[in-house]
Amino acid sequence: MAEDFEVDKFKGSAEKAARELQTILFDIVRSTTLSIPKDERIGVLSSGGIDSTTVMAILCRLGYRPEAYSIGFGSENDEIDAARMAADFLGVTLHARVLDKILASTVDANRLLDEPYRAACFYYDALKFAGSGARYVFDGLGVDEFLGGYGFRYERVMRLHEAGTRRLDAYLQGAHPNDYVASRSGIFGEKLRQIEIDWNSLLPYFENGLAFLDQMFLADYDAKCRQNFVPLAGFAQSLGINVIYPWLDDRFIDFSLRIPAEWKYEPESGRAKMLFRAAVRDLVPESTMNKKKQGFGPSLSRVYGELKPLAEDTVLDGYLVSNGYVNGSYYRKVLEKKAPSPIEINKLWDMYTLEVFLDELGHGVR
């Protein structure tokens, strides 16, 4: 809620805030481990980035022996090397697995969700892999949303806004350049062609008195973290494991909301997640501090290579095309291309996932 960002901001220097944040991080991890039996193995989903490496570092400082679990997608877009450097620095064991069939878990993952999510299969595979060795698994989700970790997105959004685009449209186009399409893009079929998308209702985060950066943080939490990532925690029960999200603890969130936006992201330099970096500088290796941020997933060209034969059957002969909800010719043209655009691949991927989801509910035609 917008009012959550209107709390009194931190009184004191950024250096003092960084020290207080480190204390909070330790307190959270310490308290979350109290319920873990002493003989249980503890796993950490590791990308080799700051968020997950900080979890491992604090567990080590507290006397635990965590094990790192990392999923890779091949040399084209892999974080296993970074995860290995972090594990070596902390002296923990790394378990790594490179996925061969990257979309193979789409059905298993989406049958557990209330809404379809195309990339859910990757997180499902990561938790399943970690759960093969540890019943308690830590995940570093939350820092990017609350302490300004998406600098590359903020820069695009602010550039569009400075060029005259209103805030909501700048966020849609700048934060999601490989997903946003106009409602008259030709994707809809006859039954939906006249429908206008009311983005103000779907993303009601920009009609308030907050600073633009805080509005983006709010939108990222509600529209990205809460609606996309948090529901994936439901995989834990089906896999028989306990997943712990220390950076979604109320103590972390409440503190983050008190931090001024300019301590999180600096538009002039493009530096992101500044306060968190200052708080954990003495906990993680330099390679982790310098690691370039990348999304958890394969390249879209890799996705398309596996998606194309699946979509030719599932999408073109699916429930939504057959019943006039989406435009089959749009997807047919995408499938005829050797190298579709990122937006076209994502739209095809979305439609494939939705058809799989509907099929699991008994609404498919196959």
95: domain CATH number is 3.40.50.620
Sheet hosting strand 93-98, strand order edge to edge: 93-98, 67-72, 42-45, 136-138, 242-244
User: pLDDT (tens digit, 9 = 90+) per residue, 209-219?
Assistant: 888 999 999 99
> How far apart (Å, rounded) are the C-alpha atoms in residues 295 and 358?
27
Query: So what's the pLDDT on residue 9?
Result: 85
Encoded tokens for 335: 């499938």
* Statement: residue 231 has pLDDT above 60: yes
340 and 280 housed in the same domain: no
Residue where a domain terminates, one of 262, 289, 316: 289
Kindly report, residue by residue over 256-266, the tens digit of the pLDDT: 999 999 999 99
pLDDT of residue 258: 92
Domain extent, residue 66, equals: 2-148+211-289
| Greater model confidence, 131 or 192 | 131
Judge if 275 and 305 occupy the same domain: no
Within-domain flag for 195 = no
This model's pTM is above 0.85: yes
User: Percent of the chain beyond pLDDT 70?
Assistant: 96
Q: Is residue 21 part of a domain?
A: yes
Task: Assess if residue 326 is contained within a domain.
Answer: yes
Q: What is the mean pLDDT of the chain?
A: 91
Three-class secondary structure assignment of 119-152: CHHHHHHHHHHHHCCCCEEECCCCHHHHHCCCHH
| Residue 108 shares a structural domain with residue 216 | yes
Query: Is there a domain that residue 186 lies in?
Result: no
User: Is residue 143 situated within a structural domain?
Assistant: yes
pLDDT at 76: 64
Whether the pLDDT of residue 365 is over 60: the answer is no
CB count, 10 Å around CB of 258?
Answer: 14
Do 261 and 305 have their domain in common? no
Q: Which of 289, 308, 342 is the last residue of a domain?
A: 289
Alpha helices in 248-341 (DSSP H): 250-257, 274-280, 286-289, 300-314, 319-322, 328-336
Is the pLDDT reported for residue 221 higher than 90? no
- Digit-coded pLDDT (tens) for 178-197: 988 876 668 888 888 887 88
Q: What is the pLDDT of residues 69-95, one digit of tens each?
A: 999 987 666 789 999 999 999 999 999
Summarize pLDDT for 298-334 with one digit per residue, the tens.
889 999 999 999 999 899 999 999 999 999 999 999 9
Amino acid 366: pLDDT: 44
pLDDT for the residue 23: 98
Examine the domain organization and report whether 224 and 346 are in the same domain. Answer: no
- Evaluate whether residue 159 is within a structural domain: no
Shared domain check, 108 and 7: yes
Query: Are 107 and 244 found together in one domain?
Result: yes
Contact yes or no for 172/197 (Cβ under 8 A)? no
Q: Interior CA angle at 30 toward 27 and 36, to 5°?
A: 150
**Are 96 and 227 part of one and the same domain?**
yes
Structural domain tally of the chain? 2
Both 280 and 328 in one domain: the answer is no
Lowest-confidence pick of 10-24, 65-79, 351-365: 351-365
* 3-state DSSP assignment of residue 185: coil
pLDDT: which is higher, 79 or 45: 45
Q: Does any domain span residue 88?
A: yes
Note the pLDDT of residue 357.
94
Instruction: Give yes or no: residues 282 and 313 share one domain.
Output: no
Residues 245 and 113 both lie in one domain? yes
Domain boundary (242, 266, 289) is at 289
More confident residue, 112 or 196: 112
pLDDT tens by residue, 19-34 = 999 999 999 999 999 9
**In the predicted model, what is the mean pLDDT of residues 60-66?**
96
Least confident of 98-102, 143-147, 189-193, 351-355: 189-193
Whether the predicted pLDDT of 340 surpasses 50: yes
Say if 69 falls within a structural domain: yes
108 and 134, same domain (yes or no): yes
